Structure 1
Amino acid sequence: MTRRIALTFLVLTTVLLVLAVVPLGGLMTARERVSFRDDQRSATRVIASAAEEHLSDHRSATPMRKELDVAAEAGDCAAVYDASARLVASTECAAARGEEARELVNRVLAGHEPEPPENEGRLLAAEPAGDVRRPAGAVVLARSAAPRDARIAAIWGWSAGIGLLGLAASVLLSVRLARWVSRPLSSLDSAAQRLGEGDLGERAVVDGGPPEVRRLAATFNTMAGRTEALVHGHRAVIADVSHQLRTPLAALRLRLDVLAAGAEGDTAAELAAAQGEIARLSRLVDGLLAVARAEQAIPRPVAVRVDEVVAERADAWSPVAEERNVLLTAPPGPALTASLGSGHLEQVLDNLIANALDAVPDGGSVTVGHRAAGRYARVRVRDDGPGMDADAKAVAFHRFGNPEARGTGLGLAIVHRLATVNGGTVRLEDTPGGGLTVVLELPLWTGASPAPRSLPDLKKR
């Protein structure tokens, strides 16, 4: 952000300086040229006035020669011509006696306004001596353009210097302004990132910057405090529920086991049914706790090798698949590294594979594949079971969304929560030829190197 603000401010200042300095320099250059030309013509007219007294009134040539000497001392070249364009007097310099000078004289004597040329760094000017329509002669004055060019160069030099000083001041000001704005925002961004990674005690410390940023930091701290209290409250509830429900269920199961050990006939059958319901209730409590933990999960992303996890989970579930006479395969795919919370991909695949194995009939197949899809790693779990209709798919990711599920009906809810909290997506598609395909897309890792992956918990969620 600092760079963008500084560059924007610098570009804006550069444009403003160019729009201001360049026209001003051009205007001053034009004025310098006009002033130089006016001074030259004025000096020419002084000599022409003295020459007129000599040419038309036949007075002494002394005043005319004095003016020529003055022009020579100033570094100018001057020459006086009569009405027949014959040279009458001149300075020692020959610049006012060349072909261009004679062309100017002829135009002046003809009553035309000559276009003053520039030859070898000297500007020529011609003025009539006497009446413009019937001049008694003409005066040509050649003056070096070096002083004019030096002043013009000085004008542009000062303009460039002022522009550079303005740019330097703009750079300093823009950098300070950018840092004043971006530093508190960077601090706030870092705090938000750490909070999002699970550090619930993180707070933003912003003691500078614009008032809006300070108010934003205060609002963020308030939100972080409420989030911390809410998450800790949920965790406390989950811990209490886990203890308060599992303990009496375990005690009740032990009592039923004791009663079932000495029961016979109808009593034994009823007790067996009660034991089955207790086991189902225990699985339901475990599933609800797993969903609650997934919903409050705030992952710290690590580099997870998708290809390794897919192969590992397929191997772990292979004995279960063989026992149920189901073909479980995981075709090799590209080496992909995803950005996920530690253990989340294992938990997701465990739920998906378990659901698929429960759904396919004897002799069916389940395939777990993966490939790259743009900025995501795409994992597909396909089965050739009965599949789902459109209504069942619409609510499949809700808690107990599928009333016909053989399990608790919570597995897909856990998968959906873990996928979305890690910045991914999950959807259901029909398998060609019959069955269901779960498509999981997870963001690819953008870090320098994968972090070491801990061994997952193989317990079925």
Structure 2
Amino acid sequence: MTRRITRTLLILTSVLLVLAVVPLAVSVTARERVAFRDSQRAATRVIAAAAEEHLSDRKPVTALRQELDAAARAGDCAAVYDDSARLVASAPCTAAQGREAEELVEKVLAGHEPEPPENEGRLLTSEPAGEVRSPSGAVVLARSAAPLDARIAAIWGWSAAIGAVGLAASVLLSVRLGRWVSRPLSELDVSAQRLGEGALDERAEVGDGPPEVRRLASTFNTMAARMETLVHGHRAVIADVSHQLRTPLAALRLRLDVLAACAEAGTAAELASAQEEITRLSRLVDGLLAVARAEQATPRPVAVRVDEVVAERVAAWAPVAEERGVRLTASRGAALSAGLGPGHLEQILDNLIANAVDAVPEGGHVTLDHQAVDGLARVRVRDDGPGMSAGTKAVAFRRFGNPEARGSGLGLAIVHRLVTSNGGTARLEDTPGGGLTVVLDLPPRPAGRPGSATR
């Protein structure tokens, strides 16, 4: 934003300077040229008056010579011609003589007012000696244009300096204005990012910037405070529900255990069925609480070593898989990191491995592999079980979406929520030869968090 404001003000200032300074410099330059020529013509007329006294009144050449010498001392060069265009007198220089000077004399003697030309850095002017219609002669005066050029150069130099100072002042003001506006917005953006990453106590500064930005920061703080209250309230409700549901279920299960120990064969079988239902209900409650926690999660991503977590979870689940006659392996891959909330990858892999081990029949195989693809960390969990139909895969990530699920039907919903809340994606594919493959594309390692690597 600072660059856009600076660029806009620079363009506006440049346009205003061009429209104001350039015409003013052109006008002053034209005025200097006119003043220079008027001064030169006035000096020429003085010499022409002395020349008329000599040519018409036949007075001595003394007064004319004095004017010619005065012109020479002033740096001018003058020459006097009679009515036949013959040179009568001149200063000790030849700049007022030659073909151009003779052409001026002829035009003046013919009663015209010629445009003074410039010859080798000198301006030539010619004035009649006597009346314009019937002059008794003509005077040509050559004056160096260097003083005029110096004044014009000074005019344009000062104009350029004024423009440069104006541009510099515009840059300073625009940069200060841009920072005054953009710095609070940048800080507000950082606060919004941190709030999105899970820092619920994050608040923005309200004292800087324009009134609109301060109001926006105040509104953001109000929103953040309400969100913090809401999230903490939901977490408290989840904790209370967890405690209130698990306690009576555990007590009911213990009572059923006591009754089954003293019951007859037929009654014991019925109580065993009830115990299985209690166990299933406990798993369902645990799954619902896990989904609720996942939906309320606001992760703050840290760098997670994917290869190490995969190896650890495979080692942890290997005894369970071996007990059920399932082979669980992990393909070796290069060191790979991803940006996830603490503990999320472990929870994701636990749910996927549990689902795969339950789905695969005895003698089946479950394998995990990982690799870097287009800047993402890709993890695949493959099994050679019965797989899923296209319709089942379309709703598998919903809660209780798979009616054929052996468990609670919440494992994939938990996985999908945890992956997407961290900015990743999850999808289901068919395993070549039969089975199901879960493909996870996890976001890259977060930048600017030194020392945040975790397992």
User: Please, what TM-score do these two structures have when normalized by structure 2?
Assistant: 0.87
Give the whole-Å Cα distance in 2 for the aligned partners of 1:34 and 1:331: 92
Query: Displacement, 1:291?
Result: 0.9
Q: Which amino acid aligns with 2:339?
A: S
Q: Which amino acid aligns with 1:161?
A: A
Corresponding residue for 1:32?
Answer: 32
- Report the CA distance shift for 1:136/1:371 in structure 2 as closer, same or farther (over 3 A): farther
Give the whole-Å Cα distance in 2 for the aligned partners of 1:104 and 1:371: 93
The unaligned stretches of length 5 or more in structure 1 are 456-461
Give the whole-Å Cα distance in 2 for the aligned partners of 1:109 and 1:333: 106
SS of the equivalent of 2:88 reads strand
Query: Displacement, 1:138?
Result: 4.0
1:221 has 2:217 as partner: no
Corresponding residue for 2:417?
Answer: 417
Aligned-residue sequence identity (percent) comes to 76
SS of the equivalent of 1:273 reads helix
Query: Displacement, 1:232?
Result: 1.7
Give the whole-Å Cα distance in 1 for the aligned partners of 2:225 and 2:437: 41
Contact 2:80 2:88 in 1 (8 A): yes
Contact 1:342 1:453 in 2 (8 A): no
Give the whole-Å Cα distance in 2 for the aligned partners of 1:330 and 1:115: 99
Give the whole-Å Cα distance in 2 for the aligned partners of 1:50 and 1:435: 121
Contact 1:336 1:444 in 2 (8 A): no
1:355 has 2:355 as partner: yes
SS of the equivalent of 1:451 reads coil
Give the whole-Å Cα distance in 2 for the aligned partners of 1:433 and 1:273: 37
1:90 has 2:129 as partner: no
Give the alignment of 1:147-162 within 5 angstroms: 147-162=147-162
Corresponding residue for 1:442?
Answer: 442
SS of the equivalent of 1:381 reads strand
Contact 2:68 2:91 in 1 (8 A): yes
Between 302-311 and 97-106, the greater mean CA deviation after superposition: 97-106
Corresponding residue for 2:124?
Answer: 124
Contact 2:116 2:123 in 1 (8 A): no
- Report the CA distance shift for 1:212/1:112 in structure 2 as closer, same or farther (over 3 A): closer
Give the whole-Å Cα distance in 2 for the aligned partners of 1:150 and 1:266: 123
Q: Which amino acid aligns with 1:337?
A: S
Corresponding residue for 1:459?
Answer: none
- Report the CA distance shift for 1:101/1:441 in structure 2 as closer, same or farther (over 3 A): farther
Give the whole-Å Cα distance in 2 for the aligned partners of 1:284 and 1:3: 56
SS of the equivalent of 1:92 reads coil
Query: Displacement, 1:274?
Result: 1.5
Corresponding residue for 1:74?
Answer: 74
Q: Which amino acid aligns with 2:94?
A: A
Listed one character per residue, the Cα deviations across residues 53-104 of structure 1 (whole Å, up to 9, x for unaligned) are 5446655545544443443343211122335543221222333235654565
1:385 has 2:352 as partner: no
Contact 1:339 1:443 in 2 (8 A): yes
Corresponding residue for 1:284?
Answer: 284
Between 95-104 and 296-305, the greater mean CA deviation after superposition: 95-104
Give the whole-Å Cα distance in 2 for the aligned partners of 1:22 and 1:206: 45
Between 235-244 and 325-334, the greater mean CA deviation after superposition: 325-334
Contact 2:304 2:454 in 1 (8 A): no
Give the whole-Å Cα distance in 2 for the aligned partners of 1:372 and 1:28: 71
Give the whole-Å Cα distance in 2 for the aligned partners of 1:100 and 1:391: 102
Between 227-236 and 331-340, the greater mean CA deviation after superposition: 331-340
SS of the equivalent of 1:80 reads strand
Query: Displacement, 1:294?
Result: 1.0
Give the alignment of 1:167-186 within 5 angstroms: 167-186=167-186
Aligned Cα RMSD in Å? 3.1
SS of the equivalent of 1:377 reads strand
SS of the equivalent of 1:95 reads coil
- Report the CA distance shift for 1:200/1:88 in structure 2 as closer, same or farther (over 3 A): same
Listed one character per residue, the Cα deviations across residues 28-59 of structure 1 (whole Å, up to 9, x for unaligned) are 33443344334334433443455355446655
Give the whole-Å Cα distance in 1 for the aligned partners of 2:255 and 2:324: 32
Query: Displacement, 1:20?
Result: 3.4
Contact 1:352 1:411 in 2 (8 A): yes
- Report the CA distance shift for 1:122/1:402 in structure 2 as closer, same or farther (over 3 A): same
Corresponding residue for 1:406?
Answer: 406
The unaligned stretches of length 5 or more in structure 2 are none
Query: Displacement, 1:127?
Result: 4.5
Query: Displacement, 1:293?
Result: 1.0
Query: Displacement, 1:152?
Result: 1.6
Contact 1:50 1:64 in 2 (8 A): yes
- Report the CA distance shift for 1:297/1:446 in structure 2 as closer, same or farther (over 3 A): closer
